Structure formats: C-alpha cells, structure tokens
Structure 1
Amino acid sequence: MNLEYFIARRLVTAKNHKSSISAPIIKIAIIAIAVGVIMMIVAVATGFGLQDKIREKVSAFNGHVIISNFDDNESEVSVAPLSIHQDFYPKFKNIQGIDHVQAVAAKAGIIRTADAFEGVVFKGVGKEYKWDILEEYIVDGRKPDLKNTLNTEVLLSQYLADRLQLKVGDKFNTYFMKEGGNGMPNLRVFKLVGIYNSGFQEFDSTFIIGDIRHVQRINKWKDGQVGSFEVFIDDFSQIEEKGEEIYKAIPSTLTAQTIEEKYINIFEWLKLFDTNIIVIIVIMIIVSTINMVVALLVLILERTQMVGMLKALGASNWSVRKIFLYNAGYLIIKGLYWGNLISIGLLLTQKYFGVIKLPPENYYVNVAPVTIHIPAILLINLGTVIVCLALLLIPSYIITKISPVKALRFD
C-alpha cells in the first residue's frame, strides 16, 4: 500500500481529528467547495438551458436557415414568389447534416372580430411542415389538418386568442390586402382549431398558421410557387458553416440567411450568458481554492510534530507534502460529492416541476429551463480538482521549511 495514502487515510478517519482545532475550518472548506460546485453546475445548466430553449423556439417558427428571394431578406412577408422546383427541395443532395427542408409563404393581414382587431402575419405551410417542434407549445386543440382538400383550419397563439376573445372552434374574419393595394381586401373566414403559447412575444403576437394554398390564391401565384424555404440542420453548433454551404449551393438569384443573422440581437444577448457562466466558474474556483489553502495550512500547523517525526525517520519533503495533498484531495472530493448531489437534485426538481418562473417579456420563457449537460458537469468536477490541487502545491511548500528538531519540540 502507498505509505503517504495510508497515513493520510488514518488522519482523516482518526477520532481526535474530528474534535481538533482544524475541524470547523475543514467543514467550512468542504461547504465552500460544495457551494461553489452547486453555483457552477446550476449556472451552466440554466445558461445552456435558456440558450437551447430560445434557439428551439426561434427555429420552430423559422427553421435554422431561410432561403428566399433577395427582396424578402428582411421581411416576414413573402413579396416575390419562387418556384418550388429546386435542386435542394425536398432534400439537399450535396450537403451533409441537413435534417429537413420545408416550403412556406407569408401574408400580412388583419383579424377582425365583433369587439377587437389585430394585425397578423398568416404563415402558410404545407403537408411536409415540421410540426414536432411546434406541437410542444400547443396548449389547446390540435394542429391544422392539411390534407389534399383546402380547408380553413388555423393555429393561433394564446396571446392573440385572448386579445381577440377567441376559443377553439370559433370562426373569425381575416382581411388581406391585394397586391398593389388596389380594390377591396380579400376576406377569408378561418376556423380556430388549436392555440399555441411559445412564450416568445415576438412570435406569439404575430403568427397565425394555416394552409399555404390560401397565400398562393390570395397572391394569385401559379401552382408550385412559394414564398421561401426553411432548412433545419442536425447540429446547431454548425449553423454558421452550414449556412455558408447552403448559400453557395443555391442559385445566385436566391439568398440564404441563418436565424443568428436574422435575429442578431437575440443571439448576441444569448452569448452574454457564456461570459456570465465563465465569470461565475472563475469566482467559485477562486473562493473554493482560498478556503482549501487555509484548511491545508491549518492542517500542516496542527500536525507540525508529525511532520518533524516523519522527517526524522527519513521521509522526504515531497513524501510528507503528498500526505497533506491526499488529505486535501479527500476534502475536495467530499465537497464535490455533496455539491453534485444537491445541484443535480435542484436541477431535476426545476426540470420536472418548474418551480422557478421567469417573466417571458424579458427572458422569452415562462419557466427557467435547465439542460443537464453531463460532459460540462464532469469538466467542472475535474477542473475543480486539478486547479485546487495544483494551487495547493504552493502552501504545501511550507513543509520544506519545518525543521525536525524544532518540530519535535513544538508545543
């Protein structure tokens, strides 16, 4: 058995150690590490969770990359149509990592009821529309049935339904201006079959979702003409590279824009969370390390006679230092154990019960989302151990200054 480890373990399990002067300081050091780990894991989980949730919501209404005509680049409304017969539709053949491509079209309109009216953007979608992301936000009713026969079923947000005093099953009038703004507006009577609530005010106050053929008929487009294409990719971390690949692969008459470019303010705001997470991690590691340094110094001073005895018996300075580093490592691991146990418990509680609420007008979500990222948690634990032990090498150097003769006479 390793001699240094054996002695360190005896020190940890010794009964007189628990009632020694260093006991409260050691407890404080363990608590500091546990609290530090809790803060770091919670900061990473909530930061990643908020980023993932907002990205998911933005992509649910826009895809990851939007292919359109140049004149539609900064508008939610489809101005000039483009043909659905493209080499990249329904699937990119020469680009890897593309999950789905769907055709959409949008038209501005006004919903008018007996007591209120609201300006909206009617988003027309087809049978291939990716409903699996949006279905999560449907709070009442169902998604529209987009079969071969054109129908009037639509999906409306909770925000608009409340303002217009509409409920599932109601019918309402929507007016669309004709191209050029001449003549009477086009009237469509839609039936509300589902209500969604994404918590994203920018989208909830804008979009009504229904059959794309309504937009095609109102705009008098030919069969096979759409407003734009929404592209979903497999890995969001590669959105910039895939956006560039898509732009190079499409005809020169079209343009491709990622949602990071279209909603630059939102994604720049999200990047601030990375900075906040790094700052929290650095501060917590510094606090934990300082507490461990103090605890180690107290342990060394408390065991000065033992250090002198070991040196007198021929133990090297490094051998004695390893005893205290093993001891410190045990305290660090104990703090990590409790820190991980408590933090993961808190995160699971938030994930499944949504205890902490957030104002959607500020954070775009109703409940604080969490993402339990196992590699990040392992990295936090490993980084804490390595940084603390590396920095503890400095205070352990004091052992080399302890004289065996003076230490054995120390009282």
Structure 2
Amino acid sequence: MNYEFFIAKRIIGSKSYKSSVSAPIIKIGITAIAIGIIVMLIAIATGIGLQKKVREKVVAFNGHITINHFDTNESNESLMPISTIQPFYPKFNSVEGVKHIQGVATKFGVIRTETDFEGIVLKGVGSDYDWSYVKDFLIEGELPTYEGELSNDVVISSYLANRLNFELGDSFQTVFGKESIEDIPFQRNFKIVGIFNSGFQDIDKTFMIGDLSHIQRMNKWEQTQIGNFEVFLDDFTQLIPIEQQVRAKTPSFLDTQTIEEKFATTFEWIKIFDNNTYGIIAIMIIVAGINMITALLVLILERTQMIGILKALGSSNWSVRKVFLYNATYLIGLGLLWGNLIGLGLLFIQQQFSVLKFPDPEQYYVSVIPVYISIDYIILLNIGTFFACLVMLLIPSVIITKISPVKAIRFE
C-alpha cells in the first residue's frame, strides 16, 4: 500500500481542503498552468501554421529544389535552355524522397491594354506540370491543360487582374522582347481561364502561368528544351540531405538550389517564429512554476502539524515530501486538463471557421491566421510542462526536511 498516495488522496478529497486558506491560492496555481498551456498551444499552433502556410505558397510556384544552368543569371528569365533528355527525367527514381519533377521556363514581358501596361514574367509549363499545388490558390475559373496544340489559355493572379481591370474570359496582348533591341518584339494574345491568389505578393505581382510552347517558339528552342527543372519532395524536413543527393545525380554543368536559398529572406523571417515560440514557452512554464511553488509552500505551512505527526510516527522526510508532490501532481494535471480543453477548443474553432484574420495580409503573406494541430507537439508540450513544474516543486518541498516534529505538532 502506497500510504503517501493514500494520504494525498484523502487531503485532496477532504472538505476542509477545499475551504481552507490555501484553496484560492491553489486555484490561482491551477489557473496559471491552464492559461500557460493555452498560450503555449496557441503560440506553437499558429507559429508552425504560419511557417507551413508561407512555405507551401513559395514551394507551390517554385518547387523544393530548382535545377538550373551553372551560370550567373540572377534574373527571372530563362536564358540558356536545358535538355529534358536526362537520366533523372521524367522520374527522379534514383533519389528517395523525390515526389515529382517538372520542366518549366520563364520569360519577361509586358501586358499592354488600351489604358495601361504591366510588367510580368510568363511561366511556361507543359504536360508534366503538377497543378495540384496551384489548385489550392485558384479563386476563379479553371486550370488549363497544355497537351498537343499551342494554347493561349493562361492563369493570372487576382493582383494583376485588379490592376489591369481584367475579368475571367478576357483576352489581352503581351509583348516579349528579343535578343536585339532593334528587332521587332514578339506579340502574343492570351485568354484568362483562371485567376489565383496566393497571398504572396512577390509571386502574385510577377508571375502568369501559360503554355511552355510559347517560350520555346520565341526562344527558338526545341520541344525537348526547357529553362529549368522544379523538384518536389515528400518531406520538407529532408530538404538539405535530398538536395545533396540530387546535386550528386545531376551533370556538372547543372546547378541545384533549394527554396530556402532562393528565398533566403523569407525563410529567415519565418524562422524567427521559432525563437518567439521558445521564448513564450519558457516564460509560461516559469510563471506557472512560480505559482505552483507558492501554492505548495502555503499548503505545507497549512499542514505543518500533519507533517510533525507523520515524522513523529516514523515517516522519512522523502515520504512526507512525496505526499505533497502527489498533491502537486494532481493540481498540475488539473491545470493541464483544463488548459488543453480550452486551448485545443479555440484552435479547432479557428481551424474550422477562420475567425481571426491578419489586419495586414500582405505583411504576413496570409489573410487568415493559420493553425496547425499535431498530436506530437501536444503530447511533448504536456509532458515537458508537467515534468518542468514537478522538478521546480522539488526545491520548495525541501522545507519539509527543516521542520522539527516537536515544534510542528505545537504549531498553530
């Protein structure tokens, strides 16, 4: 029979315990833990959610890894063609973790209307293009298919559509330059069949997606030539090791670049959320721990006579400490229970109904505050908080060893 647990259970269940002087302080300690776990859950869920959302948007239009020519071209235009006759195309089976590879090309142009003009980059895609990534951002119309004959159908962003007063089904003219300034520029007519909104302005204000054949014809490329390859992975966390394997499997004249290198500023920005989240977790655990330490000290003071009696009957200091640690474990568990119920409830509501939105979507690249809920971090957070608070309570429980049985029994 674990008599320490038995005594702790009797203390918790007694009416005097619930109406004692320490009761309000204990409730404050439980509330502090509950509030702490709510804040930590929200911080982690929104931090990871925002990271994933921004990352998904950048990856959707660029891939996880880009395979380019080994040159110094820093522009948004494909200048040197790459042959699609490669051992790694159309399936990159030699590297585990590669989900899809596709050939694309880009060319700078200017959309011209009767009253306005706008510079854009036409992203040419072919039959191998995976539209599933872009489909999530489509707000009007449909996605085109580029197979066989040359297609004039394009997908543009709502940003460009609003600036140029375009609507679904409109046709417009785009001018593309040639190598020589003296040559007459290319003119192409396109029809809008779809409008997307990624929320990532660097993408929305720049790219228009169309048929790869247009760029191949303007650049006088063969059908087997593209500007670069985009590689998509199954798991973003394996980006660096897979990129190293992809680099090893590509010819020496080709270079590989990860999405983190291509958009270094954006990824450095979203990594800051990790530091903020760690800081919030540390502060919340410390605050909850301090409140529990206060509650335990008051509880010990209130039960001084009981401590003296237990010691007089032969209980060791550790046995008496265990009684109060069992008690504290119950209180911590109660705080975690309420914190998880409320915190996960709020996160579920936000995930399903998108109640909270960013006041400035352009600054955060998303309009709705994203939420990511995973059983993994929920379990780790609860276990970590529980043991952190319990370890902090070992320190104040040392005061029990200083209590003399004779003086404690006389204590009033």
Counterpart residue type for residue 387 of structure 1: A
Preserved contact between residue 161 and residue 167 of structure 1 (Cα < 8 Å): yes
Give the drift of 1:377.
1.2
Preserved contact between residue 201 and residue 360 of structure 1 (Cα < 8 Å): no
CA separation of 1:103 and 1:62: change in aligned 2, threshold 3 A: same
* Structure 1 residue aligned with 2:102: 102
Counterpart residue type for residue 329 of structure 1: T
Preserved contact between residue 176 and residue 186 of structure 1 (Cα < 8 Å): yes
Count matched residues. Answer: 411
How many Å separate the matches in 2 of 1:75 and 1:351? Answer: 38
Preserved contact between residue 72 and residue 80 of structure 1 (Cα < 8 Å): no
Gaps of 5+ in 2: none
* Structure 2 residue aligned with 1:56: 56
Preserved contact between residue 325 and residue 392 of structure 1 (Cα < 8 Å): yes
CA separation of 1:62 and 1:236: change in aligned 2, threshold 3 A: same
CA separation of 1:318 and 1:6: change in aligned 2, threshold 3 A: same
* Structure 1 residue aligned with 2:85: 85
TM-score (norm 1): 0.98
How many Å separate the matches in 2 of 1:182 and 1:348? Answer: 61
Counterpart residue type for residue 8 of structure 2: A
Counterpart residue type for residue 205 of structure 1: K
Counterpart residue type for residue 400 of structure 2: I
Give the drift of 1:216.
0.5
Residue 208 of structure 2 aligns to a residue whose secondary structure is strand
Give the drift of 1:248.
1.8
Give the drift of 1:182.
3.2
Does residue 229 (structure 1) correspond to residue 229 (structure 2)? The answer is yes
* Structure 2 residue aligned with 1:377: 378
Residue 398 of structure 1 aligns to a residue whose secondary structure is helix
* Structure 2 residue aligned with 1:391: 392
Counterpart residue type for residue 114 of structure 1: E
Give the drift of 1:404.
1.3
How many Å separate the matches in 2 of 1:74 and 1:8? Answer: 69
* Structure 2 residue aligned with 1:316: 316
Give the drift of 1:335.
0.5
* Structure 1 residue aligned with 2:28: 28
Once superposed, which parts of structure 1, at least 4 consecutive aligned residues long, lie more than 6 Å away?
Answer: none
* Structure 2 residue aligned with 1:363: 364
* Structure 1 residue aligned with 2:135: 135
Which stretch shifts more, 200-209 or 341-350?
341-350
Give the drift of 1:242.
1.3
* Structure 1 residue aligned with 2:111: 111
Within a 5 Å distance, the mapping from 1:251-330 to structure 2 comes to 251-330=251-330
Counterpart residue type for residue 308 of structure 1: G
Give the drift of 1:360.
2.4
CA separation of 1:285 and 1:64: change in aligned 2, threshold 3 A: same
CA separation of 1:370 and 1:73: change in aligned 2, threshold 3 A: farther
Gaps of 5+ in 1: none
CA separation of 1:77 and 1:298: change in aligned 2, threshold 3 A: same
Report the RMSD for the aligned CA atoms in angstroms: 1.1
Residue 193 of structure 1 aligns to a residue whose secondary structure is strand
How many Å separate the matches in 1 of 2:78 and 2:215? Answer: 9
Residue 181 of structure 1 aligns to a residue whose secondary structure is coil
Q: Deviations over 1:111-168 (max 9, x none)?
A: 1122221100000001111111110000010111223222111000000000010111
How many Å separate the matches in 2 of 1:114 and 1:380? Answer: 59
Within a 5 Å distance, the mapping from 1:157-172 to structure 2 comes to 157-172=157-172
How high is the sequence identity, in percent, across the aligned residues?
57
Which stretch shifts more, 143-152 or 206-215?
143-152
How many Å separate the matches in 2 of 1:258 and 1:181? Answer: 34
Counterpart residue type for residue 58 of structure 1: V
CA separation of 1:72 and 1:153: change in aligned 2, threshold 3 A: farther
Residue 179 of structure 1 aligns to a residue whose secondary structure is coil
Give the drift of 1:184.
1.6
